Amino acid sequence: MSIAGIALILIAAALIILVAVLIPTLLTIKRTAASVGDLADMVQGELRPTLQELTGVLTELKTVGEGVAEHTDDVRKFMTALGETGTNLNSINRSVGTVTTVLNTTSIWATGAKVAGQYLLEQYLKKRGGR
């Protein structure tokens, strides 16, 4: 056999080995492509309802957000009224404190005047000789 014949035999053997290795690889690639296609179909089937639900939830959130925005002014008015009520209660509390102080002072003066009056009356009666 010549060198060309040996080279052709080696090339043929290499091609047979290459085909023997490529056939399982090509079959594996074909199965992988089928699995990827099935996965894509499943994801697309699951994704559509999820996107529709998400759209519904976003619509509801938008509605709730608008409702909150509408009532924000009402809450602000309520908080302002509540603050004014607190200020008024504080003023009433100070007034009641002042009146209480005045009444306590008046009560002390009245008690002192009563005791002083009794003392003066007793002294007067002693000098006149009554008791």
83-123 pLDDT, tens digit per residue, is: 899 898 999 989 888 888 888 888 888 888 888 888 888 88
Residue 126 lies in a domain: no
Query: How many domains does the structure of the chain reveal?
Result: 1
Q: Confirm whether 33 is domain-assigned.
A: yes
Full DSSP string of the chain: --HHHHHHHHHHHHHHHHHHHHHHHHHHHHHHHHHHHHHHHHHHHHHHHHHHHHHHHHHHHHHHHHHHHHHHHHHHHHHHHHHHHHHHHHHHHHHHHHHHHHHHHHHHHHHHHHHHHHHHHHHHHHHHT--
Instruction: Evaluate whether residue 125 is within a structural domain.
Output: no
With respect to residue 61, please indicate whether it lies within any of the assigned structural domains.
yes
In a domain, 39, yes or no: yes
The mean pLDDT of 69-80, rounded to a whole number, is 83
Question: Residue 68: is its pLDDT beyond 70?
Answer: yes
Domain that holds residue 68: 1-97
Residue-level pLDDT at 130: 54
In a domain, 52, yes or no: yes
What's the confidence (pLDDT) of residue 126?
84
Q: Supply the pTM of this predicted model.
A: 0.39
121 located within any domain: no
In a domain, residue 108? The reply is no
